[in-house]
Structure 1
Amino acid sequence: MTRASNDPLLQPYQLGPLTLRNRIMTTSHEPAYTEDGMPKDRYRLYHLARAKGGVAMVMTAGSASVSRDSPPAFGNVLVWKDEVVPWMKRLADDCHEAGAAVMIQITHLGRRTRWDKGDWLPVLGAGPAREPAHRAFPKVAEDWDIARVIHDYADAAERMKVAGLDGIEFECYGHFMDNFISPLTNAMPEGPYDGSSLDNRLRFAFEVLEACRKRVGPGFLMGMRYVADEAEPGGIPVEDGVEMARRFKASGLVDFVNIIKGRIHTDAALTEVIPVQGMRSAPHLDLAGRIRAEVGLPTFHAARIPDVATARHAVANGLLDMVGMTRAHIADPHIVRKLAEGREHEIRPCVGATYCLDRIYQGGMALCIHNPATGREETMPHDIAPAAEKKKIVIVGAGPAGLEAARVAAARGHAVTVFEVADRPGGQIRLTAQTKRRSEMIGIIDWRMEQCQAAGVEFRFNTWAEAADVLAEKPDVVIVATGGLPQLPELASGADRVVTAWDILSGDVRPGQNILLYDDAGDHAALQAAEVLAASGASVEVMTPDRAFAPEVMGMNLVPYMRALQFGKTRFTVTYRLNAVRPEGNQLTAVVGSDYLLDRSETRSFDQIVVNHGTAPNADLYFELKPLSENLGAVDYEALIAGQPQPDGKGPRGFRLYRIGDAVESRNTHAAIYDALRLVKDI
C-alpha cells in the first residue's frame, strides 16, 4: 500500500486563499434531507460525518435554488430565503471545526422543475423546448426575468458569504444558465442573449458571475461546474468547452472549474453523466484532464470515481487538482481517515447501485443500498461502539441481513456464530451478481465477510440449522435472517406449469424460445431474468398488471435494462394480468385479463412462462423458536425507530429472538441491512 506520507491523495492543495488538507472532496449533490427547504440537523449531520471522516471539502446542495420561480424538484436548499443563513452557518461552523472546507452549489433550475411545485410560477427557459424528465414547457425568459434572476443570484451569494462558507459553485449543466449556452436549447429572440455566437450564449453566465463577485468581493471562492462537451450533435462541442474555461480564467471571476460531459434531460442521458454499475469507471476523466492541461485553472471532477486507486491515478497523473468521490462517501464517509491510518482495505465499497440518486429523482431521500447510517446520522452509527456486556449471538442466514447482523455484533465484542445452508454467503445478492452487469453487488457481501472474519465470527456453511442446533449453542440472542423464497402469483390454475425469475437467474431452468415473463413485483429480478432470456435469443413478452412496468426499478437503473432489451425480440405489455395457465400439447396457454375490464380475457400461447411475484418469508425456524424465547419474538417498534435498545421479555428461556430482512417480508437489500444495524447496534 502507498505510504500515507507519500500518497498523492493526502497532499494539501492551495485553492486561492484556502488550504485544503488533501485532494478528496464530496462534490455538490442534493441528498434531499431538507426540511421546508432548510438544511437542518439531518442535513448538517450528514455533511459533518464526511468532514469528520477526513474529506478536504464538502460541497453542499445540488443545487440550492436562488429564485422563487425555481421551486425544488428534489429537496433543494432554498437560498433565496434569509432564514437559510443561520442553518448554513451552523453547518459550516461544524464542518470547519472538523477540518473541512465548505462550499455550496447555487442555481436557477430553469426548466428542470415543474410549474405545479412551490408557488405555481411559470417554469423559465432560454427557449420553449421541454425537458423530458420534468415535462414542463418553459416560458421563454424576458428581459425583466433575466435581470431579476441575476439579482437573485447575487443575493444568494451574499447570504452564503454571511453564513461563513468558503465559496460557491454555479450549476451550469441542465439548468437555466447553460440553457443559454447550449445551441440545443437557446432559442432566445434576436438580441444580446440569442444563440448566434458564443459571446451571446455566455452573456447571462458572465453577468451572473460579475454580479456575484461585486456582491461578495475578493477572497470568496467562486467556481463553475459546467458542461464542457454535450456529446450530442448540435450541442456544445469540446472545443467550445475548452474555450469557455479559457474565458472563465481570463475574466478573473472564476477560481476553479468542475467538469461535466453530457446532458441530463432524460434518464438515459443522465446515466452517461453519472454512470451506474456495469458502466465504465471515470469515463470523463480525460476530458477534465485536457481542460486542466490546456487552460490551467484548478480543475475538479466527479463521475463514477468509486475507489481510491482511480482517484489516486487522477491526481498523481495531473488530470485533476481535486477529485470528487461523492457516491463513494455516501457508502463510506471515512474513506480518507481509513486511508491515512493504513486501513484502505477496510473501506466499504460503493457498488454503483445508485440507489441513492434514484431515490432522489423519484422524490425520496438519498439512502445507500448498504450503509443505512448514511442520512440517519442522528440515530444510526457509522462506527460501532463496544458493548458493556459480552454475549453469545447465533445468526441463521448469511445473506446481507445476516452478515450485517454478524458484522455489527462482532464489532460490539460479542461471540458470533452464523449458520448458512449454502456453501457460500450471499443470499439473494449472490443471485443478483450472477448477471455480469450487476456483478459489483457482490461487494456488499465480500466487504462484510472480510469484516466478520477479521473480528472472529464463526461460520458454519452447508448447515441446515434446526432448533436443536441453535439451542445447543446456549445463545443469549438468536437472529433469524433466513431470507425468503420465490412465491407464485395467485392463478386460477396452472401454477405448477410456471417457473420463477430465480430459476432463470440461477441457471436451474434453461430459457425457452417464446416466453411470457409475468412480473407483478416490479423489482430487479424480473428485468434481470428478461436480460438473460433475451440474451439467449428468445422472444420475450414482459407483462405487468401495473400501469408501468418495473415500478421498483427507478429511472437510472432502468436505463441499462432498456439498452439490453429494447431493440431485441422483447416487448412490454402493461395493465394486463396473468389469471391462469393451461397446457396445450407442448405449449402453454396464458389466460390474460385486466383489472380495468374484469369481464374480459384473452389467451396467448408460449412455450415457457416465467413469473416474478416477490418472496415469501422462509421463517419456519423462527416460529419453532418463538415460544421458547424470552421476548416471544416481539420487537418494540418505538425503541427500534428511536434507535434505542430492545426491552427485556418474559419468555421461558434465556434467549431473545428476532427475525430480520426477507425472513419478515419481501423487501429489498437496504431494508434488510437497516433491520440488522438498528437492531444489533444496541445488543
Structure 2
Amino acid sequence: MSKDPLLQPYQLKHLTLKNRIMATSHEPAYPEDGMPKARYRAYHVERAKAGLALTMTAGSATVSRDSPPVFNNILAYRDDVVPWLKDLTDACHEHGTAVMIQLTHLGRRTSWSKADWLPVVSPSHHREASHRSFPKKMEDWDIDRIIRDYADAAERMQAGGMDGIELQAYGHLMDQFWSPLTNELEGPYGGSLDNRLRFTFDVLSAIRARVGSEFIVGVRYTADECLPGGLTRADGLDISHRLKDSGMVDFLNVIRGHIDTDAGLTDVIPVQGMRNAPHLDFAGEVRAATGFPTFHAAKIPDLATARYAIESGKLDMVGMTRAHMADPHIVRKILQGREESIRPCVGANFCLDRIYQGGEAYCIHNAATGRELTMPHDIEPATVKRKVVVVGTGPAGLEAARVAAERGHEVVVFEAAANPGGQIRLTAQSERRREMMSIIDWRMEQCQEMGVVFRFNTWAEAEDVLAEQPDEVIIATGGLPHTDVLSEGNELVVSSWDIIAGDVKPGKNVLLFDDAGDHAALQAAEVLAASGAKVEVMTPDRSFAPEVMAMNLVPYMRSLQPLDVTFTVTFRLHSVVRDQAGLLARVGSDYGGVIKERHIDQVVVNHGTLPLDELYFDLKVQSANKGEVDYDALIAGRPQPAAPDGQFRLFRIGDAVSARNTHAAIYDALRLVKDI
C-alpha cells in the first residue's frame, strides 16, 4: 500500500475514489452540436486510462435555452445528450475513473445574440463587463422555469450514468443571486442573505426530488468575491456552513474571487508568472471550518504542492486540471516512479485563452491534447530504424527530435547557438515568463535520456547534413525579425527582439510599432517602460495585442499601466527620418485621410519573422521529395510517401515555414514525425 498522500483512496458518500487527484470541471469546447461525442469522450478517456480518480466534464453544461453556450458548452437541456454521456461515462468507468458533470445557468455571463436570441437574465439589469450583455431583470416565472430546468438536467445526467453533478456558483446565475452587487430583486429572492440563497436551495430541493438522496451533488462556488460590496470571507464561511447543513450537498468545491472581468478571472485562475496555489490556504480554511469534503483547483501544477494540499488536510481532492492538459498521464507516471518525466504545465494559458476567444482548448506544448482521435500521447516505436537529422533546437526542432527518438530512430541535432531554446529562450528573458523554458528543458531531458546527439555551436551547411547520410532531414531553423516594413527609414528602426535580448539600449521617448499583435511587442514594451522610457505602442489593428488574448494580457497591463505607456490603435507607421530633434515618424491610417507626425528618439518594430530557410533550399534539390509535404496524408494522420532507397526526405517545420506560435511549431513536428 503506497504511503503517497496522493495515492490514498477517498470515500465520498457511496463512491470510492481511487486516489486524490481530479480534473475539475472545464469546457475545452470540443462538443459537436452541443453533444460530447467521440472527440470529447477520447479526451476524458485518455486521463482515465492513466489512473485519474475523478474527471469532471463540462465547465459548464447549460440547463436552459436562455443560457446560450458561449464556450461551445454541452447542452444539458436536450434529451439527446443522455446516450452521449452514457458512452463517455461507461468508457471512463472501464478504467475505474469516476465521472461527474457541472451544471449551470450562465445568467448574464453570455450573449443574447447566440443560439435562440433570447434575452439574457439575471437578478438585476447590471451588465457583466466580459460578455457585455445587458440582462433582463428576472421575473417570478423566469425563476420557476429555471429551477425546473436544473431538475430536468440533473435527471438527464443521472440517466447518462454520471457519478454525480456539481452546480456552478461563481460568476454565473446562481451566485448572481448570492451577491449584493448583482441581486436587486425584492421579495423572497432578494434582500437578506437568506433570501439571496433561496434560489440555490430551491434548485437543490428540486434536484433532490428528481435524483434522490444517494446521487452525489456538490457546489463549486466563490466563498469570497474579493470585491468592495460583494460577498466577503465571512459571508463565504456562512454560505459554506449553510450548504453543508442543508443535507442536500455532498461536497464543496471552493474558489475565491470573481470572474466578471478579465483581471478578476485571471486572479481566480492564475497564469504564468503569478503565484502558484494562491487560494489553497483559503480553501483549507473552509474545510477546517466545516469539516466537510472539500475540493479545490487554482494553479496547482506540481506534485509537491498537490501532495502538501492533501497531506496537510487542506483538501480532500486536489484539482490538477491544466496540468492534465499538459500531461494526461500524471497518475500513471507517479505509479511507475517516473515523476521526472511528467510534461510540465508552464502556465501559458493557451488553453483557456483560446476558449474565451471562441476557439478550442489546446495545450501550448502538448499538441495531442484535444486531438486524441488523431494524435498520440504515447509514441509507438517504428518497425524500421532510420537516421534523422534535425536542424534547430527551438520548440519545433526539439519536438521533432523527441518524437523521432521515441520512435527508436538515430537522431542528430545541429544548433548554431551555444544553448537550446530558439525564440523560447528570448521569451524567458522576462522574469514573469521564465516558466516557458520548461518547454525546452523537458524536451532536452527526454532527448538526452534517449541518446539524441546534439551538436551545439554548429552552423549547419548542406554538406554537414549530407555527411550524416540521413534518411530524414527536418529543418527547424526558425525565423528572424522582419522589420523592413516602412516606405522610408527601415535602417533607423530596431526590432522587439533587440530590446528583449538587451542587444539595444532602450531610448527615452520610444514609438513601438506593433503589426503582429503578439507577446514580443508587449515584452519589449515592458523592458522599455521599466528602463524609464516614455513608450507609445501603436497598432493599425482595432485593438492592441490581439494574439496575446485576454488572461495573458492582464499581467502586461498591470506592469505597463502604472508606467508612462500609451496605446494607440488604428494608426500605421509609414516612415522614419532623422531630424535635428532625433527621429521624425510619419503616421497614417488604413482608414485614410490622416497624416500625423511624432518626434521620438527610438522606433521599435514588431512585425513577426521571416523564415531562416537558406539551408532548406540548399538541400531541396537533392532530396527525394523536393521538400513537398502531402497535406492530405498529414491531415489524415497517415505517413508521408516513402523515399527510394539511398535518398533522403526533406521537411521544414515551425517558423522556418512561416511566422506562427509555439503550439503550431510543436504540432508541425508531432504530426509529421509520429509516422517517420
The TM-score normalised by the length of structure 1 is 0.98
Aligned to 1:609: 603
Aligned to 1:455: 450
Q: Which amino acid aligns with 1:515?
A: V
Does the 8 Å contact 1:395/1:481 carry over to 2? yes
Aligned to 2:189: 193
Counterpart selection for 2:649 from 656, 660, 664: 656
Is 1:314 the counterpart of 2:334? The answer is no
Q: Distance in 1 between matches of 2:289 and 2:564?
A: 47
Identity of aligned residues (%): 69
Deviation at 1:219, TM superposition (A): 1.6
For residue 405 of structure 1, give the secondary structure of its aligned residue in structure 2: helix
Aligned residues: 676
For residue 291 of structure 1, give the secondary structure of its aligned residue in structure 2: helix
Counterpart selection for 1:446 from 441, 449, 462: 441
Deviation at 1:526, TM superposition (A): 0.2
Q: Distance in 1 between matches of 2:126 and 2:135?
A: 7
For residue 79 of structure 2, give the secondary structure of its aligned residue in structure 1: coil
Q: Distance in 2 between matches of 1:636 and 1:649?
A: 13
Deviation at 1:601, TM superposition (A): 1.4
Q: Distance in 2 between matches of 1:226 and 1:491?
A: 52
Is 1:625 the counterpart of 2:625? The answer is no
Aligned to 1:434: 429
Deviation at 1:296, TM superposition (A): 1.0
Counterpart selection for 2:521 from 519, 526, 544: 526
Q: Distance in 1 between matches of 2:511 and 2:481?
A: 17
Q: Distance in 2 between matches of 1:317 and 1:602?
A: 62
Q: Distance in 1 between matches of 2:258 and 2:539?
A: 31
Aligned to 2:674: 681
Q: How do residues 342-357 of structure 1 correspond to structure 2 at under 5 angstroms?
A: 342-357=337-352
Deviation at 1:109, TM superposition (A): 0.6
Q: Which amino acid aligns with 1:664?
A: V
Aligned to 1:146: 143
- Name structure 2 gaps, 5 residues minimum: none
Deviation at 1:221, TM superposition (A): 0.3
Write the deviation string for residues 519-578 of structure 1: whole angstroms up to 9, x where unpaired. Answer: 000000000000010000100000001111111110000001111111210000001101
CA RMSD of aligned residues (A): 0.9
- Name structure 1 gaps, 5 residues minimum: none
Does the 8 Å contact 2:213/2:248 carry over to 1? no
For residue 98 of structure 1, give the secondary structure of its aligned residue in structure 2: coil
Is 1:647 the counterpart of 2:641? The answer is yes
For residue 28 of structure 1, give the secondary structure of its aligned residue in structure 2: strand
Aligned to 2:505: 510
Q: Which amino acid aligns with 2:661?
A: N
Write the deviation string for residues 265-317 of structure 1: whole angstroms up to 9, x where unpaired. Answer: 01011001000000000000011100101101100000000111110010000
Q: Distance in 1 between matches of 2:573 and 2:197?
A: 56
Deviation at 1:653, TM superposition (A): 6.1
Aligned to 2:576: 581
Deviation at 1:402, TM superposition (A): 0.2
Deviation at 1:649, TM superposition (A): 4.6
Is 1:241 the counterpart of 2:232? The answer is no
Q: Which amino acid aligns with 2:211?
A: V
For residue 192 of structure 1, give the secondary structure of its aligned residue in structure 2: helix
Q: Distance in 2 between matches of 1:601 and 1:229?
A: 50
Write the deviation string for residues 35-65 of structure 1: whole angstroms up to 9, x where unpaired. Answer: 1100001111001111112110000000000
Q: How do residues 325-336 of structure 1 correspond to structure 2 at under 5 angstroms?
A: 325-336=320-331
Deviation at 1:233, TM superposition (A): 1.2
Does the 8 Å contact 1:661/1:673 carry over to 2? yes
Counterpart selection for 1:91 from 85, 88, 91: 88
Does the 8 Å contact 1:632/1:649 carry over to 2? no
Is 1:123 the counterpart of 2:116? The answer is no
Q: Distance in 1 between matches of 2:636 and 2:307?
A: 40
Write the deviation string for residues 230-260 of structure 1: whole angstroms up to 9, x where unpaired. Answer: 0111111111111111111111100000001
Write the deviation string for residues 179-225 of structure 1: whole angstroms up to 9, x where unpaired. Answer: 1100111111x20001x211001000000001001100122100000
Does the 8 Å contact 1:628/1:653 carry over to 2? no
For residue 529 of structure 1, give the secondary structure of its aligned residue in structure 2: helix
Counterpart selection for 1:100 from 97, 100, 110: 97
Does the 8 Å contact 1:635/1:646 carry over to 2? yes
Deviation at 1:106, TM superposition (A): 0.2
Deviation at 1:14, TM superposition (A): 0.3
Aligned to 1:81: 78
For residue 313 of structure 1, give the secondary structure of its aligned residue in structure 2: helix
Counterpart selection for 1:391 from 386, 391, 394: 386
For residue 170 of structure 1, give the secondary structure of its aligned residue in structure 2: strand
Does the 8 Å contact 2:34/2:75 carry over to 1? yes
Q: How do residues 124-273 of structure 1 correspond to structure 2 at under 5 angstroms?
A: 124-188=121-185, 190-194=186-190, 196-273=191-268
Q: Distance in 2 between matches of 1:96 and 1:586?
A: 72
Deviation at 1:600, TM superposition (A): 3.2
Q: Distance in 2 between matches of 1:218 and 1:656?
A: 63
Does the 8 Å contact 2:163/2:215 carry over to 1? yes
Is 1:65 the counterpart of 2:58? The answer is no
Write the deviation string for residues 297-339 of structure 1: whole angstroms up to 9, x where unpaired. Answer: 1000000001111100100000000000000001000001101
Aligned to 2:274: 279
Q: Distance in 2 between matches of 1:228 and 1:532?
A: 37
Q: Distance in 2 between matches of 1:121 and 1:143?
A: 17
Deviation at 1:636, TM superposition (A): 0.3
Q: Distance in 2 between matches of 1:356 and 1:34?
A: 16
Counterpart selection for 1:476 from 449, 455, 471: 471
Q: Distance in 1 between matches of 2:80 and 2:319?
A: 29
Is 1:53 the counterpart of 2:46? The answer is no
Does the 8 Å contact 1:629/1:653 carry over to 2? no
Counterpart selection for 2:555 from 560, 568, 571: 560
Segments of 4+ moved more than 2 angstroms: none
Q: Distance in 1 between matches of 2:218 and 2:433?
A: 35
Write the deviation string for residues 421-454 of structure 1: whole angstroms up to 9, x where unpaired. Answer: 0000000000000000000000000000000000
Write the deviation string for residues 332-381 of structure 1: whole angstroms up to 9, x where unpaired. Answer: 00001101110000000000000000000000000000000000000000
Does the 8 Å contact 2:581/2:599 carry over to 1? no
Is 1:547 the counterpart of 2:542? The answer is yes
Q: Which amino acid aligns with 2:521?
A: A
Does the 8 Å contact 1:123/1:136 carry over to 2? yes
For residue 176 of structure 2, give the secondary structure of its aligned residue in structure 1: helix
Q: Distance in 1 between matches of 2:641 and 2:614?
A: 24
Write the deviation string for residues 74-119 of structure 1: whole angstroms up to 9, x where unpaired. Answer: 0100010000000000000000001100000000010000000010
Q: Which amino acid aligns with 1:157?
A: A
**Further displaced range: 579-588 or 80-89:** 579-588
The TM-score normalised by the length of structure 2 is 0.99
Does the 8 Å contact 1:630/1:653 carry over to 2? no
Q: Distance in 1 between matches of 2:125 and 2:578?
A: 55
For residue 540 of structure 1, give the secondary structure of its aligned residue in structure 2: strand
Aligned to 1:5: 2
Q: How do residues 31-42 of structure 1 correspond to structure 2 at under 5 angstroms?
A: 31-42=28-39
Counterpart selection for 1:671 from 652, 661, 664: 664
Counterpart selection for 2:374 from 379, 402, 423: 379
Q: Which amino acid aligns with 1:193?
A: Y
Q: Distance in 2 between matches of 1:430 and 1:304?
A: 23
Deviation at 1:648, TM superposition (A): 2.3
Aligned to 2:408: 413
